[in-house]
Amino acid sequence: MQSVVIILSAGMGTRMQSDLPKVLHNIACEPLLIHSMRTAAAMDCQKTIIVAGHGSEEVEKVAINFNPNAEIVIQSEQLGTAHAVNQARGKLLDFNGEVFILYGDTPFIKPNTLKNMSKLRENGSNIVVLGFNTDEQNSYGRLIITEDGSLEEIVEFKDATDDQKKINYCNSGVICTDTNLLFDLVSEIENKNANNEFYLTDIIKLAKNRNLKCATVECSESEAMGINSRVELAHAESYFQEEKRTEMMLNGVTLTDPNTVWFSSDTVIGRDTIIEQNVIFGPETTVESHALIKSFSHIEGAHISKGAIVGPFARLRPGAELANNSKVGNFCEVKESQIGEGAKVNHLSYIGDAKIGDNVNIGAGTITCNYDGVSKHLTEIGDRAFIGSNTSLVAPIQLGSDTMTASGSVITSNIPDKALGIARSKQENKLNFAVKFFERLKAIKLINTKDK
């Protein structure tokens, strides 16, 4: 069956107290909107339509970057959810199939939940609404269920009676129905309510007036979580991280102190990898099996191969590629570089825009000087090279296989295979200079003290 997803993302998000559109605030390093779009993508829908309003240009840019085929429509005035849905009508004039209504600020709806809603509709329900039970006081609409279990009505909280407000079964806002039926019902909705808005929820009452069958699927309260403030955003982040940590451990990843490890939504970790405490994974990071990520490391946009060791206190920036059994040690930074199999980047080194061969040893304090103030340049180091501590490699430069550099060298020219590169001034010892120098300094200090 053909299907389409409409994601409502036009709200200003006043309670966020932000210039940024609400749906562009991040959970797990990814905008709220993208979480909803991932759910849409998992449904293999023919169309994804984003209804944007406040900050529409920013919203469109983010949406198209994630899915170039996404279609954007604008709700210039926020007159309610039915009015928002109606903005997508023109995009679906020739479409005949199933439609899901999602929300850009409700990021945790699962594809399987939508599939369950679709199955219920296939079994005879004309409209299926996603609900959740809660004991918490909230302002969600209430789902009115008949004795036979069908959905009779959705009552918005502001319009609910005191008895209706005591109902624990709440409306998530997510709906599954037929596109033609949806827009047919939407055209009948009026704004005679406490907010003078066109409520999408009114389609249930209108459908019941036609003797159509309405039903609900229940999900957890956490899955239906909506984000309206920074406090709720932080709560959602904590929920995501807890779920992700559990998923990782169930898949064979060891987390030494789970609560201190933070993942991005797209982080991939192989089984039998060990992650110590206080590690942060930014976007686009993959770690293969049997790796060891030591404490206080920050990894983003990197690929770490089998058996590699990172940290402690290491930073891997986008483009870092670590081959099997390589190592990036204490207080090292790697960016846009390939570290060969078995290679070691030791303490306090910076490797940027480089290709490091297999079994290379990078001594402590080594720097690839890759930026001349205008452009970035490449450093290439051949297999089995030994780079002495505190070496500066001024790119562009090539060091052959089995080469060495003397500690403290500033290497500005290529080094051929098997050669030693030395580039430092000759040491000169001045006898008794140190004692005389300090005596002179002390005398000057004494004079200055007396003058005061």
Catalytic residue among 54, 290, 298, 347: 347
| DSSP assigned state of 428 | -
Sort 401 into a burial class: Cβ within 10 Å, 0-12 / 13-18 / 19+: middle
Residue 237 — φ and ψ, nearest 5°?
A: -60, -45
Q: Is 298 annotated as catalytic? A: no
Residue 159 has phi, psi (to 5 degrees) of -100, 0
As annotated, the active-site residues are: 347
